[in-house]
Structure 1
Amino acid sequence: MRILKNEKGFTLIEMLIVMLIITVLIALAIPNVAKQTSAVDDKGCTAFVQMVQGQVEAYRMDEKAIPDIEDLVSKGYLKTGDTSCSNGKAIVISVDGVVSSGS
């Protein structure tokens, strides 16, 4: 059997300090990630509203009428699941063809 001498390693205190530093860094990072998630959802909803506005304009050129969401889905301009944003806000088309996100 071989006896190891002069083994260098981490002490318990050093490991606890490293764990404390990692915990503090995680505690600082998690709230920032949560804030960015809502900002990404809002930007995604804005982009989705602009895409639906483009589909409304395409429908208007093809059919010579202002559609509602059901018209866009039934004619294939939108997929069935494309009637609300990822943040839960519904897509609303006004009588003059302007698309917005409702609540």
Structure 2
Amino acid sequence: MGIIWVILMYALGIAQLVAFQAGLQEWLGLHWIVSIVIGIVALMLGPIGSLAVAVVGFFGAMEAWNWEWWQAGLLCFPSLVIGLVLLVVNGAAGLGGLLFSRGR
């Protein structure tokens, strides 16, 4: 099961890099090879570079691919989206537990 997760994470990273490339190509008119090299260098910079790739990829998916904001968000910020969903589910479960425990 672990190897499947690794493959999915690499596929997600490649999709984010392609969205980054599309964003740079759309805004700055850069050749796709130059955009990919900039993206790879940015990813080597650590968390700040990864955040830059995610943000540019988000807007690249929206502008170049004409995706909706939530689709681009799922592509570029999947951990944030999953975290928000889990936060809402946990909050609803806690509220439900509070309401049902008062009835006893």
Q: Which has the higher helix share?
A: 2
Higher-RCO chain (CA-CA 8 Å, sequence separation at least 6): 2
TM-score by length of structure 2 reads 0.31
Q: Which has the higher strand share?
A: 1
